[in-house]
């Protein structure tokens, strides 16, 4: 894909999700080829104020070098630059998840500090394929099989339909300086095993596997959106919002299919949490347990955070206290 086409694509994707002229963009830049190309494309647009943010996890010896590359680019083009150092602690497991959570927390902090409406990341089509497979291996349902969303809250990913090889070609052609993450070869990480071991084997069965997974992820996202809309409609029929919280009728809920029961419960939890709930499996599993319980009354159980659920005869109440 040529420079002009990539520039148009980024402009189109940002415009499609509502990014306006003059909006402040917090751009997550690791120093790798994907994020450096994203930064270059956004800089050339000159339509938004860019705040370049580099999150340094300090895990690798080249981490400081990566930061210098990003800081050097920002200085050259007179862009605002923010560096955040985060600590992952001493635990040896769950490093990928902790790094991701801390990275996004740091980006959100900078967004609040600068009054930025959007955070922009350089996730690619390759990331999407790997995420869908990782979610499938974990046993994810419809939402997980949809993979990464183009927009999640205030986070937008305009390169999600662009393959990494196209970005590498762009970086080479335009002589962009970038760093290579040495941890990408570490098979301790699930994503690397998927990329280096599993995907090459699967491609032997289907040479168009990556395109097929990318296409299917869009279909699963559409299915997830449709289920969510149906769940909202059914929620109005089987439950209601009260001062106590969101109250569901167990008998009416059981008239729905098991899949739709779960979706309605998810919708109820989101409603009770004011739409701010980062929904996890444990949240709705606990509510399902209450529904299945032979006890007529069950005292409040914590679902996670400030959310609770209780049972009283034919009613399940989900509330924030």
What pLDDT score was predicted for residue 91? 61
Q: Which residues contact 253 (CB under 8 A, 6 or more apart)?
A: 238, 239, 261, 264, 265, 291, 316
User: What pairs with residue 51 in β-bridges?
Assistant: 26, 80
Q: Kindly compute the dihedral angle of the four CA atoms of residues 188, 189, 194, 198, in this order, to the nearest 10 degrees.
A: 10
In CATH, what number does 3-205 get?
Answer: 3.40.50.620
What pLDDT score was predicted for residue 303? 82
Nearest to 102 by CA among 59, 145, 132, 68: 59
What pLDDT score was predicted for residue 244? 85
Report residues of the chain scoring pLDDT below 50: none
A 10 A CB-CB count for 321 gives 8
Q: Domain ranges in the chain?
A: 3-205, 225-319
Residue 230 · residue 260 · CB < 8 Å: yes
**Which CATH architecture group holds 225-319?**
2-Layer Sandwich (3.30)
What pLDDT score was predicted for residue 275? 56
User: What pairs with residue 107 in β-bridges?
Assistant: none
What pLDDT score was predicted for residue 60? 67
pTM of the predicted structure, to 2 decimals: 0.89
Which pLDDT tens digit goes with each residue over 242-283? Answer: 988 999 999 999 999 999 998 998 898 888 875 555 666 777
- Listed as own residue / partner, the contacts of 221-226 with beta carbons closer than 8 Å and 24 or more positions apart are 221/146, 221/147, 221/149, 223/142, 223/146, 224/142, 224/143, 224/146
CA 273 distance to own-chain centroid: 19
Which pLDDT tens digit goes with each residue over 74-114? Answer: 999 999 999 998 877 666 557 778 888 899 999 999 999 99
């Amino acid at each position: 894909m040529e420079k002009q086409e990539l520039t148009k694509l980024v402009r189109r994707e940002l415009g499609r999700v509502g990014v306006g002229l003059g909006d402040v963009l917090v751009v997550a830049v690791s120093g790798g080829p994907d994020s450096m190309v994203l930064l270059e494309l956004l800089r050339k647009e000159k339509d938004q104020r860019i705040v370049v943010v580099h999150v340094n996890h300090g895990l690798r010896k080249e981490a400081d070098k990566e930061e210098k590359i990003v800081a050097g680019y920002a200085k050259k083009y007179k862009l605002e630059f923010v560096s955040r150092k985060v600590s992952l602690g001493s635990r040896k497991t769950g490093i990928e998840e902790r790094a991701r959570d801390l990275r996004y927390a740091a980006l959100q902090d900078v967004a609040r500090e600068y009054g930025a409406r959007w955070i922009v990341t350089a996730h690619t089509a390759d990331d999407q394929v790997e995420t869908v497979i990782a979610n499938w291996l974990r046993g994810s349902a419809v939402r997980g099989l949809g993979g990464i969303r183009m927009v999640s809250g205030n986070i937008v990913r305009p390169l999600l339909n662009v393959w990494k090889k196209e970005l590498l070609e762009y970086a080479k052609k335009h002589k962009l300086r970038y760093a290579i993450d040495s941890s990408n070869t570490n098979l301790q990480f699930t994503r690397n095993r998927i990329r280096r071991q599993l995907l090459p084997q699967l491609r032997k069965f289907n040479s168009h596997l990556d395109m097929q997974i990318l296409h299917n992820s869009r279909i699963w996202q559409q299915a997830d959106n449709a289920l969510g809309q149906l769940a909202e409609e059914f929620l109005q029929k089987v439950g209601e919002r009260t001062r106590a919280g969101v109250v569901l009728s167990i008998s009416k809920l059981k008239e729905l299919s098991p899949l739709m029961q779960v979706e309605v419960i998810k919708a109820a939890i989101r409603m009770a949490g004011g739409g701010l709930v980062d929904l996890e499996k444990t949240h709705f599993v606990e509510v399902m347990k209450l529904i299945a319980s032979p006890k007529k009354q069950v005292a409040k159980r914590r679902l996670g955070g400030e959310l609770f659920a209780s049972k009283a005869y034919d009613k399940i109440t989900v509330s924030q206290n």
